Amino acid sequence: MIIPNLKEAQKRTKNSVQIKTDEYKVSEELKELGKNKLYFIKTYGCQMNEHDSENIKAILEDMSYQETYDMDKADLILLNTCAIRENAHNKVFGMVGRIKHLKETRPHVIAGVCGCMAQEESVVKEIMEKYRFLDIVFGTHNIHNLPNILNTSLAKKELEIEVLSIEGDVLENIPVKRDNKYKAWVNIMYGCDKFCTYCIVPYTRGKQRSRTPEFIIDEVKKLLQDGYKEVTLLGQNVNAYGKDLAVDYKMENLLEDVAKTGIDRIRFVTSHPWDFTDKMIEVISQYNNIMPYIHLPVQSGSDKILKLMGRRYTKEHYIKLYKKIKELVPNAAITTDIIVGFPGETEADFNETLEVVNECQFDGAFTFIFSPRVGTPAFKMTDNISIEEKNNRLYKLNDLINRYSNEANQKYLDKIVPVLIEGVSDKNDKFLFGYTDTMKLVNIEAYNKYIGQIVNVKITSVKTWSMNGKVVE
Ligand code: SAH
Ligand code: SF4
Ligand code: F3S
């Protein structure tokens, strides 16, 4: 039993990070543990968590488990959770309630919670007090140890918790079962050292650890050989890539080397404005396999609030960077994240956020009401804005965002754009769907033969969230 500790998670150690290629092992005995058993995994949160779930699936399949998409049939249920906002918590505990019910009729079912919520001391305490019917809890730093954690829980027949508060090394031999045949997630770094005052990620994911370029390039080359068309380089703050490596090798170098592999499409998330260098913009503009799509969270337009958030840039700096990107990569689509109702945000501060939106006219944005997270500096700041006011601001902001999103999409009407066709649309099986280089969702009237290909599509109609088009042969 190893329980997380918030104070430990808040620290940054000077421990040097090792690259390990043989840390993950499954003993012969455990390889049969899941024989004739089904697992179900539900993933919350960001792309990083999606990718962790792909690792977890492969580990479980190494133990002979097989995947089911029906929770009611599963012998093993895992919730890979997100801690970023309070509502993520509520959703997970709602699911845990369903699992309790399910275990009443299927008592042999093993159920577990992993991911970012499991890294929270307060959540684990709550689980120990109220949800002892769960079987396993493990965190983001020891996914590779899942076979042993599972085995211990099965042997003890009681709740087994193994959550490490401090990150470990970079492990290079964890298997992966990818959800998509054409697009792949590729981790380039783990953790985050930015410590934005509202954000829990630096505590749930540990200090920044970059993977070495050789392993990343190798992974991309293998994906290319396997027929993948697109890679998304993942990190909480990808522009800081390499800053923790012993060699002088940064994000612009990595982008260039990944581009040289010749893979069709390269994306990267998420960019922090502070680390976005001119060299990076140059590289993006020089290689046409680096997609003209940049997610560049601004969070707020008020310098006072940006400072309280610990974002380390000003509104002016953000707008300058935005314009520089647009100048060098003219067709780039730029999206953002915005938080409203941060402690101390006045009407005037909020209006400055609206000003940035008016100035940048984003292609899209994820917008959130500030959610206080235990252990973060903002948790202790006085929150004097009423929930009605927060809702009003969110509503007003979304209205503006949608207007610009629609306007940006309208520019695509009658244009011919490249689309990577991924499959049949969930909503209408007469349509295929895919994304443009600028990450616009397109529904296409076409035949299945195009699935997995990048084809030219003429846009025939446009909505706020998607567009329709026809393949141009
Ligand atoms: N690493 C990314 C952000 C990851 S979290 C970056 O720095 O841009 C995704 C988004 O969730 C953030 O951009 C922020 O807008 C939002 N977010 C994070 N913590 C939050 C909180 N406590 N309350 C509300 N929104 C939050
Ligand atoms: Fe959180 Fe800031 Fe790190 Fe993004 S950069 S993960 S918002 S601390
Ligand atoms: Fe959520 Fe953890 Fe990602 S908190 S946003 S799943 S890094």
Quick one: how far is CA 6 from the chain centroid? Answer: 22
User: Ligand 1: which of 82, 85, 189, 199 to mutate, most ligand atoms within 8 Å of CB?
Assistant: 199
**pLDDT above 70 coverage of the chain, percent:** 100
Both tokens assigned to 252: 């612009």
Domains of the chain in start order, with CATH, are: 6-162 (3.40.50.12160), 170-410 (3.80.30.20), 416-471 (2.40.50.140)
**End-to-end Cα spacing for the chain:** 60
Return d(Cα 10, Cα 192) in angstroms, integer.
11
Residues having CB closer than 6 A to ligand 2 are 192, 194-196, 199, 201-202, 236-237, 272
Cα torsion 432, 187, 114, 45 to 10°: value is -50
Q: Is the pLDDT assigned to residue 317 strictly greater than 90? A: yes
pLDDT of residue 449: 87
Angle at 219 between CA 266 and CA 273, to 5 degrees: 40
pLDDT of residue 467: 96
The pLDDT tens digits for 246-277 are 999 999 999 999 999 999 999 999 999 999 99
The pLDDT tens digits for 35-89 are 999 999 999 999 999 999 999 999 999 999 999 999 999 999 999 999 999 998 8
* Residue-wise DSSP of 387-401: HHHHHHHHHHHHHHH
Q: Is the pLDDT assigned to residue 200 strictly greater than 90? A: yes
Task: Please state at what angle helix 347-360 crosses helix 387-410, rounded to 10 degrees.
Answer: 10
The pLDDT tens digits for 418-435 are 999 999 998 888 899 999
Q: Is the pLDDT assigned to residue 14 strictly greater than 90? A: no
Distances (CA, A) of 284 to 186, 240, 256: 18, 16, 8
Residues having CB closer than 6 A to ligand 3 are 45-46, 48-49, 82-84, 115-116, 200-201, 204-205
pLDDT of residue 473: 78
Distance 85 CA to ligand 3 centre (A): 9
Return d(Cα 376, Cα 21) in angstroms, integer.
34
Helix (H) or strand (E) holding 319: helix 315-328
Asked if 109 and 144 count as a contact pair (C-beta separation under 8 A), the reply is: no
User: Ligand 2: which of 192, 295, 336 to mutate, most ligand atoms within 8 Å of CB?
Assistant: 192
Angle at 157 between CA 156 and CA 160, to 5 degrees: 70
Give the residue from 364, 425, 428, 373 showing the smallest Cα distance to 398.
Answer: 364
> What is the residue whose two structure tokens read 């994306």?
267
Detail the DSSP E strand segments found in 280-332. Answer: 293-295
Closest-lying ligand 1 atom to the alpha carbon of residue 297:
8
Phi, psi of 187 (to 5 degrees): -65, 135
Residue 177 CB burial class (10 angstroms; 0-12, 13-18, ≥19): middle
pLDDT of residue 157: 87
Q: Please report, as a single letter, which amino acid is at residue 292.
A: P
